[in-house]
Structure formats: C-alpha cells, structure tokens
Amino acid sequence: MSAGHSLGPSAGAAAQPHATNVARWFSLFAREPRFAAAPAWRSPLRLGLGALVVIAAITAAMIMVDAPAIGAARRLPEWLVALFDQVTDFGKSVWLLVPIALALAAIAALASLPLAPMSRRVLAALAVRLGFLFLAIGLPGLFFTIVKRLIGRARPLVERGEAFDYRPFGWSVDYASFPSGHAVDAFAIAMAVGALWPRARPLLWTYAVAIAVSRVVLTAHYPSDVLAGAVGGIVGVLLVRDWFAARGLAFVLGPRGSVRPLPGPSFARMRRLARQLAAC
C-alpha cells in the first residue's frame, strides 16, 4: 500500500477525535517529495510539441469545423437529440465528488475506532486513493470554470452560426463556451479513474467521448470547446497524479519518468477490515 502513515492512533492509544484523524490524513500530503525526477511527458521537447499540436488542432477546429458541426447538429432527428440530452448530465463531476467526499469523511470517522494496525493502513490507502480522485477531478473543473467565464466565448445557442463571438471577462453563463466544462469533467474522470485502474480505461474513454459528443449534439458547445476541455481535463489529472507520485502516494515514479499506480489493498484485507468494523 502507498500510505506510509496510519490515519488513526497507534495500537493501544486512545481513540482520536474526528478532527485529529482529518489532520493526520492531510499530513500525508504535506510530506516532502521522495522522487526528484520529472515524469517523461513533462520534458521540454514533449511539452513544446504537444502544445503546438493542441493549439493547431483547436485553431483548425475553430476555423473549419465549429460552424459546420453546429449546423449539422441542428439537423439531427429529435429522438437522437433527446437521447444525448439524457446522456450529457452524467458528465458532471458532482456525481463522483459528493460520494468521494462522504467516503473520506466516513474514513476519518472510522479511524477513531479501536482498529488493528493493518486495518488502519488499509483505511489510509483508501483515503489516499479517494483523495487523489477528489483532487484530480475537482481541481481541473474548478480552474476551468473560472477560465471559461474570463474568456467569454458565446455558446452556439446564443449566437447561431457565429463561432467567433467573444465577450471577455463578462462572467456570463451564455458566454462561457470555451472550454467545455462537461468535457473537462468527463475526461478528468476518465483519466483519474483510469490512472488507478488501467483495465477500466476502454469503458472510461468511451464514456468521456460520449459526453463530449453530447455537448455538440445539444449545440451547447462547439467541437473546439470540447477538444480544449478534454485536453484541460487530461493535463489537470496528470499534474495531480505527478504530485502524488513524487511523494509515493498511490503512484510511483520510475527511473525513466514512467508513472504507475501502486497496488491497493487486497480484497482479503478489505474483508478483514469490514469484519472488524462490524464487530466494533
């Protein structure tokens, strides 16, 4: 497991109050970095080439794709639009952030119980992984919620056929099209969950692409908006993942700059923890 400290007191000590357990959990993230090397994707050459490709792709989409795509979306059959209208709501990060926050609060409370040292380490490992998910999904969404309102691009629903209508610093929902917040959230979810459980990536990326497509089908965003949102969500997760990996929390940084997830608690240990909790 990736947590080097337990969430609660040591064996034989009195149970700590809830606030103390929260402080102990946050102390995991205050540790100094253990790995000095930077992940391979952050090399100057890769960052420079990647930035050029992304800027070129978004610019090309704005010029050549945005207006025709919205025009085509307005001609789609009503049943298809209604279907994507149901799908798009699942792109909101709140569906994961609220349960994760409740789970973290529950872990902080459970750590006050008289548990065995191994059970405390299991709780710590779970808290680290849930903390990663919460930050990796929540921070990009929060950041781009502010950025999109400062950029002030009009949504397709506001100015029909006009893909270059901007009102910077207007702080209006109608002028908050670039980047797509749903795309940021969906791709951050796919990237963050997939970073911990790589086998789920095909399903997660399918989900993220479906959310991105839904925003164009509903004429809530242009294709360039969802492309920028996807890149923003992915990069945001990578930065949070790298921060965790540098401290040996949930991830480990390899000698060549590769980042891989550390094994989490086994099902056997999870079952023992559940039995111990039930007996308390």
pLDDT of residue 25: 60
Instruction: Spell out the domain ranges in the chain.
Output: 39-279
CB distance 232 to 179 below 8 Å = yes
DSSP string across 92-108: -THHHHHHHHHHHHHHH
* DSSP conformational letter for 252: E
What pLDDT score does 30 carry?
Answer: 65
CA torsion 69-70-76-78 (nearest 10°) is: 150
Cis peptide before 179 (omega within 30 of 0): yes
Residues 113-133, buried b or exposed e (16+ Cβ, 10 A)?
Answer: eebeeebbbbbbbbbbbbbbb
Cα 174 to Cα 154: distance, rounded to the nearest angstrom: 6
3-state secondary structure of 277: helix
Q: Are 54 and 231 in contact (CB under 8 A)?
A: yes
What is the CA 55 to chain-centroid distance, rounded? Answer: 22
pLDDT digits (tens, 9 = 90+) for 164-186: 888 899 888 889 999 999 999 99
The contacts of residue 263 (CB under 8 Å, 6+ apart) are: 1
Q: Name the pTM for this structure.
A: 0.88
Burial class of residue 44, CB neighbours in 10 A (0-12, 13-18, 19+): exposed
How far apart, in whole angstroms, are the C-alpha atoms of residue 131 and residue 100? 8
Residue segments in the chain with a per-residue pLDDT below the cut of 50: 1, 4-17
